[in-house]
Amino acid sequence: MIRAPMPAPSRSAPPPVPGFAGRAIACRRGERLVFAKLDFALPAGGALLLTGPNGSGKSSLLRLMAGLGRPEAGAITWEGEAISADPAAHRARLHFIGHQEAVKPVLSVAENLAFWAGLHGGTSGIAAALAHFRLERLADWPARLLSAGQRHRLALARLLASPAALWLLDEPATGLDDEAVGDLLAAITAHRAGGGRVALSTHTALPLPAAATLTLGRAA
């Protein structure tokens, strides 16, 4: 009796990871592989703390998460779709605050916030942002007159001046006094309570309940 060959087993693609996620990500700077085979998952309401020594790739990972570069390998997805498939949509859903605060010195504090909020389609949160980060009395000051700590608070106020589902923050507590750190943590808590996501790098312990921690390796 002749038997028909058995059909080859089907190979289906792995199911998409819900939320904001990365799979097997690798990053290269010049000739150096900064990290490889890195995974993360950030659901609605979640927080991800990126830790590790200088040069381990925390800032590089945040930039990849923001779509400001493409990983050497792997994929970063939003609800199962690669963020590279629609870069404009990904930019519209996030705030990225890095070491360069992008404060325009010729504009006032309030004008800086209005400019940033306008890029995200609305300015209704400016007053609340000024109040939360204790910048109300400085609203009409030219930004060039601000101290380093005040400029950093102004940069962080962008988070509240207009809504965004994803906050990417590179060492956001650097240069802040205890009161301002408390304001930052309160903003993050409220954002998460509303289903927002936060990924941030830090060299200091930040009390974020139920936050996941991703420790990157030591620099070569």
CA distance 84 to 190: 29
Q: What is the number of structural domains in the chain?
A: 1
CATH number of the domain where residue 133 is located:
3.40.50.300
The confidence score (pLDDT) of residue 15 equals: 55
Mean pLDDT of 111-117: 93
The confidence score (pLDDT) of residue 145 equals: 96
- Contacts (Cβ under 8 Å, ≥6 apart) of 178: none
Domain contains 98? yes
Domain contains 218? no
The confidence score (pLDDT) of residue 99 equals: 83
Mean pLDDT of 72-98: 95
The confidence score (pLDDT) of residue 170 equals: 96
pLDDT band at 139; cut points 50, 70, 90: very high
Domain contains 115? yes
Q: What is the pTM of this model?
A: 0.88
Q: Which of 183, 112, 171, 180 has the alpha carbon at shortest distance from 144?
A: 112
Its domain, for residue 158, covers: 44-67+85-212
Domain contains 155? yes
What is the chain's mean pLDDT, rounded? 89
Domain contains 10? no
Asked if pLDDT for residue 10 goes beyond 70, the answer is no
